[in-house]
Structure 1
Amino acid sequence: MSVFAQSGTNSPYSQYGLGVLSDQTSGFNRGMNGLGLGFRESNQVNFINPASYSSMDSLMFLFDAGLSGQITSFTENEKTLNANNADFEYVVAGFRAFKHVGVSFGILPYTNIGYNYSVSDYLDGDRNMVYTNSYSGSGGIHQVYFGLGWEFLKGMSVGANVSYLWGDYERAVINSYSDSWAKTLSKYYTATVNSYKIDLGAQYVHAFDKNNELTLGVTYGLGHKLNATPRCDVVSTDPSTSTPDTTSYSVKKGLAIPTTLGVGLMWKHKNQWKLGIDYNYQKWGSIEYPVYTTVGNTPVYQLSDDYYDDRHKITVGGEFCKNAYSRNFFNRVRFRAGASYATPYYKVNGQDGPKEISVSAGFGIPIMNGYNNRSILNISGQWVRSEATGLIKENTFRINIGLTFNERWFMKWKVE
C-alpha cells in the first residue's frame, strides 16, 4: 500500500461516511484534549457550549485563530509509512453585547476528507495478471456559526449556535490491470452540501464556598437530513472498443447529521485548579448512508441502515494556573492536560471502524508587552491512536497553536 498526504487529513479512514470528524475545539480546549462543556472562561471563546458566552468580560473583544501540523504513521501487515500535513483550523471571535449576554461568531471545519492510496495483488492467484485499485478523495464540510449566550438567572445560563454548513467531496475507486486488454470498472462518488446546524447549550454554576465551585454543562445538537444529493458514476471501459460506458446513480437528500448530546462537569478550586470530565453521544446509528451494491444481479446505489454506529466519547482533563493576575510571568502560565476515548461512527466492510485513544498536554502563555497583558498563546501537543482489528493502525502526533487576542475595546475613558 502506498499513501500520500492531503490537506486537513491524510487518513484512509476519511473515505467513510462524511469523513474524519473535526475536533471543533479552540486552542485552550485542545490543551485538555477537547474538554470544555462545563468551562466558563471570561478570556477565551468556548464555542463547544454556547451558554459559556454569557461569562465574557464586558470590556473585552476576543479574537481567536488556530492552526495545526501533524505527522501520522500508518501500519499494516508489519509495514509502516509516514505522512505529514498542516492545516489552518479555525477563526472565532466573541464579546459581551449586553449585560449577561455574550455573542460569538466564527468559522471552523466540520469534517475533513483527504487520502490517496492504492492496493495491488494477483488476480485470482494468476501471477501473470496483476490488478490495482487506486483510492483517492478530497473535500469536507465547513461550518460558519453565530451564537448567543444569556445568563437569565444568577448561576444559570443558556445559549445557542446557529450554523451554515457547506462543502463537497470527491471520492474515486479506479480499477486497472497489468493486461491492457482487461475490462476495467471504476466508481466516482460526489456530493455537495448546503444546509444548517443548530446546537443548544446550558450551564449551571453552584458555589460550595468562596474557594470551590462546580459547573454542569449540557449541550444538544439537532439531527436532520442535509440538503445534498450524493451521486455515484460507474465507468466500465472495454479496451476492445476504447469507449467508456458510464452509468449514473443518485439519492436525493442521501446525507444527514446526527442528533448529539453532551454532558460535562468542571470543578474549580481557588481559581487555580480547573478539573473536568465530558461525555459526548452522537446518534449516528439511526442514520442511513448511500452505498453502491448489487441486489441479485442488479447494481444499485441506495440508502443502507447498517453503515453507521452510535459514537461515544469521554474526555477527562484540567488546567492549573498559580495566579492569573500575578506580576510574575511563570505564575500566569496555564498548564493543561487531557485524555479521551472514542468509539467509531461508521463500519468498515461490516465490522466496527477504528476506536480512538488520545492524550494531550499544553500551555497557555500570556503575552505581555507595553500595551497588552491579556492575550494568550495556546500551544499543545496531542497523540492520537486509531486502531481496529485487521485494519490499518494510525498513530498521529499533532501540534496545535492558537492565539487569542484579548483587546479592551469597550472601556469608558475619563478625561480630567
Structure 2
Amino acid sequence: MATGFAATAQTNTTGSSPLSGKENDPYSRYGLGTLRNTSNIGVRGMGSASTAYANPFAINADNPASYASLKLTTYELAGEAEMLGIHSNGSNYSTGTATLSYLAIGIPMGKHGGLSLGLRPQTKVYYKMLDSVTINGLGKNTYVYSGDGGLNYAYLGAAYKIGGFSLGFNFGYLFGTIRNSSVLQQADTIPFLSSEFTRYNKIGGIYWKGGAMYETKLNSKLKLRLGATATIGQDVNVARDNYYVNFAIIGGTTVQDTSYYDPAVKGKIHLPTSYSFGAQISGNDRWAVNVDYSATKWSQYTNFGAPDSVQDSYRVGVGAEFTPNPSSIYNYFQRVTYRIGGYYGSDYVKLNNTGFDYYAVTVGASFPFKRSTDRLHTALEIGKRGTETNGLIKENFVRFSLGISLNDKWFIKRKYD
C-alpha cells in the first residue's frame, strides 16, 4: 500500500504539493481515478438516492430494473462543471473541470418491458503534483507526478416487469486509457539530469450489473417501492506500456542518455463486488422520499495482481422531490419538480494508513417544456472530501449539473388509424 502522495518514489519525502492549474485532483492518482457520479441529473438533486427511483419519462441506469417503467422513448444528454478548493499543508488553491455526464436513450417495449443504451463516464484521472526530496549523494531533487485519462462504460440494458416486480440488467464494455507519469529532476547536479517514467494502462472488458425493484400500494394515496442492485467481482483486460527515459540538459540543449520501452504487457484488473439497497415512498404523483445505502468491496481490487491504496467504501443518500401540481395550466412553477437531499460516505482511497469521508448537500429542479413531457434538469452539489490529517488533502467542491430529456413515441400501438 502506498504511503502518501509520493508513493512511487523510493526515498524519504518531505511532503507533496498539488500544482495549481485548470484541472487537478490529487486523489485521482489512486485506484482507477476519481469515481464519477453516474446518477441522472434529476436524482442528483435528491442525494443521488437512485436504487429505488423509477420515472416513466427518465432513464435511471443506476438500477436497470427501472427501464420497465418507461412509458415513452426518452433521449437524455447531460454535462457537469465542478470547482474544487484544495487545502494542503497550509496552502490553498482552486481548480475546475467541465465534462460530459452521460448520453442515453430509453425505449419502452410494450406494457411490461424496456430497453436502454448509452455511454456513461465512470472514472476520471487528472492530477499534477510536486514533491521535493533529498537523496543521499545526489542532493535536493524534485519529483513531478502527473496523470490523465479515465474509464467509460458503453452499455445495453433491458428490464421486464411482472406484477409489481421488475428485473433488469446492464451489459456493456468498460474501456479507457489511464496515463501515470513521474519525472525526477536532479536540480543540484551539473549538467542538469532528469529521468522520466510513464505508464499507459489501456483497459477494456465486458462489465455487467443487475437490478430489481418491487412496487406496492400502501393505501389509496401512498406507494412503496423497494430496489436493489448487485455487481459481482469481475476481471477486465489491461495492456500496459512502460516508458523510461534518462536525459540531460546541457547548455539549454536536451540530450537523451538512455531509454527503455516495454510495450503491451498484458494483465488483468479485478473490479470489486458492489451492491445497493433503496426504498421510496411516494404519494399522488406529486412527492417522493428516497433513501439509499450502497457498498463496494474495494479491498478486492487488484491491478496486475497488485493491490492499491484503496479500502472498502460505503455511501448513504437521502432525498425528496415535490411537484406542486403536475397538471397545472395557469401556473408554470407548479409544474416544476423541486428536489433536495444529501449524501455521506467513506471514500475508497486510503493513504498513510488514513481513511477519510465525503459528504454533500444537494438541491435540484426539473423544468418542463411547454405542453410536453420534455424537461430541463438541474442539480447542485456542495460538499467536502478528504482530510488534512497525516499530510493528506482536503477538497471542498461545488458541482453543477445540467441535462435535458426529450420524449417521443416509438413502438406504441395506435388506438385509432
* TM-score (normalised: structure 1): 0.87
Two-structure CA RMSD over aligned residues (Å): 2.4
Are the equivalent residues in 1 in contact too, given 2:246–2:256 (CA < 8 A)? no
Are the equivalent residues in 1 in contact too, given 2:187–2:193 (CA < 8 A)? no
Name the structure 2 match of 1:207. Answer: 217
Query: Partner amino acid for 2:124?
Result: N
Query: Partner amino acid for 2:52?
Result: G
Distance 2:217 2:353 in 1: 47
Name the structure 2 match of 1:299. Answer: none
- Equivalent of 2:127 in 85, 92, 115: 115
Name the structure 2 match of 1:374. Answer: 373
Paired residues for 1:81-230 under 5 Å = 81-120=93-132, 123=134, 130-152=140-162, 154-179=163-188, 180-181=190-191, 184-230=194-240
User: 3-state SS of the aligned residue for 1:401?
Assistant: strand
TM-fit CA distance, 1:283:
1.3
Distance 1:340 1:138 in 2: 27
Q: 1:305 to 1:118 in 2, by over 3 A?
A: closer
Are the equivalent residues in 2 in contact too, given 1:24–1:48 (CA < 8 A)? yes
Q: Deviation per CA, 1:201-221, whole angstroms, max 9, x where unpaired? A: 000112111111111100011
TM-fit CA distance, 1:44:
0.8
TM-fit CA distance, 1:407:
2.4
Query: Partner amino acid for 1:377?
Result: L
Are the equivalent residues in 1 in contact too, given 2:107–2:115 (CA < 8 A)? yes
User: 3-state SS of the aligned residue for 1:39?
Assistant: coil
Q: Deviation per CA, 1:54-111, whole angstroms, max 9, x where unpaired? A: 1111xx2111110111211111122111112211211011121123001111101011
TM-fit CA distance, 1:43:
1.1
Query: Partner amino acid for 1:314?
Result: V
Q: Percent same amino acid among aligned pairs?
A: 26
Are the equivalent residues in 1 in contact too, given 2:135–2:141 (CA < 8 A)? no
Name the structure 1 match of 2:275. Answer: 261
Distance 2:105 2:226 in 1: 24
Are the equivalent residues in 1 in contact too, given 2:271–2:300 (CA < 8 A)? no
Are the equivalent residues in 2 in contact too, given 1:131–1:178 (CA < 8 A)? yes
User: 3-state SS of the aligned residue for 2:348?
Assistant: coil
Q: Deviation per CA, 1:286-335, whole angstroms, max 9, x where unpaired? A: 22235xxxxxxxxxxxx434633111111111111122222231111111
Query: Partner amino acid for 1:267?
Result: I
- Equivalent of 2:363 in 361, 364, 377: 361
TM-fit CA distance, 1:230:
3.4
TM-fit CA distance, 1:245:
4.5
Query: Partner amino acid for 1:78?
Result: G
TM-fit CA distance, 1:405:
0.7
Q: Deviation per CA, 1:238-280, whole angstroms, max 9, x where unpaired? A: 7899512437498642422111111001111222221111111
Name the structure 2 match of 1:296. Answer: none
User: 3-state SS of the aligned residue for 1:54?
Assistant: helix
Can you give the 5+ residue segments of structure 2 that lack an aligned partner in the other structure?
A: 1-16
Q: 1:411 to 1:400 in 2, by over 3 A?
A: farther
Q: Deviation per CA, 1:364-413, whole angstroms, max 9, x where unpaired? A: 11111xxx421111111111311132311111111100111122444627
Name the structure 2 match of 1:17. Answer: 31
TM-fit CA distance, 1:234:
4.2
Q: 1:247 to 1:147 in 2, by over 3 A?
A: closer
Q: 1:124 to 1:169 in 2, by over 3 A?
A: closer
Query: Partner amino acid for 2:374?
Result: S
